[in-house]
Amino acid sequence: MTRTSATGSTSLPSLPHWETVPDDLPTAIRTMKLALQARIAASGRTVEEVFAAIEARVGAEVADIAAAKARGETVWPVIDYADIAAGTVSAEQLAYLRRRGCLVVRGHFDRDAAVAWDRDIVDYVESNRFFENYQGPGDDFFGSVGSKPEIYPIYWSRAQMQARQSDRMATVQAFLNHQWRYESDGVQWFDPDRDSLYPDRIRRRPEGANSNGLGTHLDPGTLDLWMTQAYQQAFRHLFDGTVEQYDPWDASHRTAGPQYPGSTMCSAFRTFQGWTALSDMDHDQGVLHTVPIPEAMGYLMLRPLLSDVPDDDMCGVTVNRVFPASQQWHSSLLEGLTGIPDVKAGDSVWWHCDMIHSVAAVRDQKGWGNVMYIPAAPWCPRNEAYASSVREAFITGSSPSDFPDENYERSWPNRFHFDDLNAVGRRSLGVDD
């Protein structure tokens, strides 16, 4: 543990920080909470006052979402790809995108192209006898051999790479990256016009499927969000009495700091998580939901400091487990949970990297539920560092280092090859500057 005074105003008490996972977590959590509480108190406000300010801000949005639903309106912003490409997205649409922190891009790809990609993926895995060789979930020791997965640990198909390096993807990623504030204090925190290729998996959930979905959670980190110096600076306004200035779109100090390792970690800084639909999906067929309020992160960060939470508990957040949003601690936020509207193959879906999300359960699913996970991950020191291991995984056909070490594609001859990279692909892997 080290103490620092680099977290904003020098007149406030400094915060301890741990740049690697503390050995004694309960003690570190207790120490951290006392220090954060003392820092807020020294600003002249109480923790309760600061929390009430963010609670009111978020509560107004929860009420607005409920009212929109009652009027039968679609809560998720929807923007046509054609308007993004032409630069004709209205100021009103932009404001709503930033207010809700999520987006459906209609017609991001032609429907026929997306359906053809879906077929290509089936050909790719079948031609390489993937289902016969599938060993079960890579992170589940007792995984059942031979069962057909819904999440395919496949990264290097032509379909995925063609989508990742397409001009249409780059256009939408740049549009989304530009919603953030990426320059401050003379630092450019990331390059909004250049993405780093973040290889992720695909999901193909068949007709008739039953799925329990995924509970409400978020993916930006775990205890490192409170305990590392870079995140303490990123979330400085929450802890120095200036909570009203907290801006979920400010990238300051978010793109270079360390992260605590864990089975669910993402090495990249993503402005938005996202996926591209490879089948049509109706809104009631086990789809993605978010709490479409980017400021809710302030609530999640401050909630553990209130007196009703045990001293060594961060509302259930701990290392090596996904960050939960729970009825116990966050019930008023969860009232805002809102699903995507119906989407067609070729539409894409995006949500701010700090936002609570879940996947609804489904019984006897109508139609397929197929997606390629492709986020927006702009070029920055963190993503440049990860790009070198991504390049290596790409060249050898291996699983990327953020994912289980399954490596199904190493011997597959028809995976996407280095010579198939275009200019966007080469830059996104750091092959070219």
The minimum distance between CB 161 and Fe ion, in angstroms, equals 23
The nearest distance, CB 219 to Fe ion, in angstroms, is 4
Closest distance to Fe ion from the beta carbon of 214 (Å)? 7
Q: Which residues lie closer than 8 Å to 165 by C-beta, 6 or more apart?
A: 197, 421, 422, 424, 425, 428
Q: Residue 47 or 102: which CB sits closer to Fe ion? A: 102
Element (H, E) at 370: strand 369-373
Nearest approach in angstroms of CB 300 to Fe ion is 14
The residue (of 219 and 409) whose beta carbon lies closer to Fe ion is 219
**Which CB sits closer to Fe ion, 107 or 292?**
292
Q: How far is the CB of 356 from Fe ion (least distance, A)?
A: 9
> Which positions ≥6 away from 147 have C-beta within 8 Å?
134, 136
Q: How far apart are CA 179 and CA 181, in angstroms?
A: 7
Sort strands 187-188 and 78-80 into parallel, antiparallel or unpaired. Answer: unpaired
Q: How far is the CB of 375 from Fe ion (least distance, A)?
A: 11
Q: Residues 357, 289: contact at Cβ < 8 Å? A: yes
Least distance to Fe ion from the beta carbon of 359, Å?
A: 8
Q: Which residue is nearest to Fe ion (CB)?
A: 219
Angle between helices 47-70 and 327-334 (to 10 degrees): 50
The smaller minimum CB distance to Fe ion, of residues 17 and 270, is found at 270
Smallest distance, Fe ion to C-beta of residue 362, A: 17
Nearest alpha-carbon partner for 15 in 238, 31, 300: 31
Of residues 89 and 322, the one with the C-beta less far from Fe ion: 322
Q: How far apart are the first and last CA of the chain?
A: 38
User: Which of residues 402 and 409 has its CB atom nearest to Fe ion in the complex?
Assistant: 402
In whole angstroms, the minimum distance from the beta carbon of 224 to Fe ion comes to: 17
Binding site for Fe ion (CB under 5 A): 219
Question: How far is 398 from 70, CA to CA, in rounded Å?
Answer: 48
Cβ closest to Fe ion, residue 128 vs residue 370: 370
Give the nearer residue to Fe ion in terms of CB position, either 281 or 353: 353
Q: In this complex, which beta carbon is closest to Fe ion, that of residue 47 or of residue 103?
A: 103
Q: Indicate the residue among 115 and 360 with the shorter CB distance to Fe ion.
A: 360
Quote the least distance from Cβ 357 to Fe ion, whole Å.
Answer: 6
Tokens describing residue 78: 């929807």
Q: Which amino acid is at 306?
A: L
* Buried b or exposed e, range 192-227, using 16+ CB within 10 angstroms: bebbbbbbbbbbbbeeebebeeeebebbbbbbbbbb
Contact 23, 251 (CB under 8 A): no
Going by the DSSP 8-state scheme, the letter that residue 204 receives in this structure is E
**Cβ partners under 8 Å of residue 91, min gap 6:** none
Q: What is the DSSP letter of 408?
A: G
Q: What does the block give as tokens for 233?
A: 């600076």
Measured from the CB atom, is 386 or 416 closer to Fe ion? 386
**3-state class of 411 per DSSP?**
helix
- Indicate the burial class of 24 (C-beta count within 10 angstroms; 0-12, 13-18, 19 or more): exposed
Rounded distance between C-alpha atoms, residue 7 and residue 14, angstroms: 7
Q: What one-character DSSP code corresponds to residue 228?
A: S
Q: CB 180 → Fe ion: shortest distance, Å? A: 19
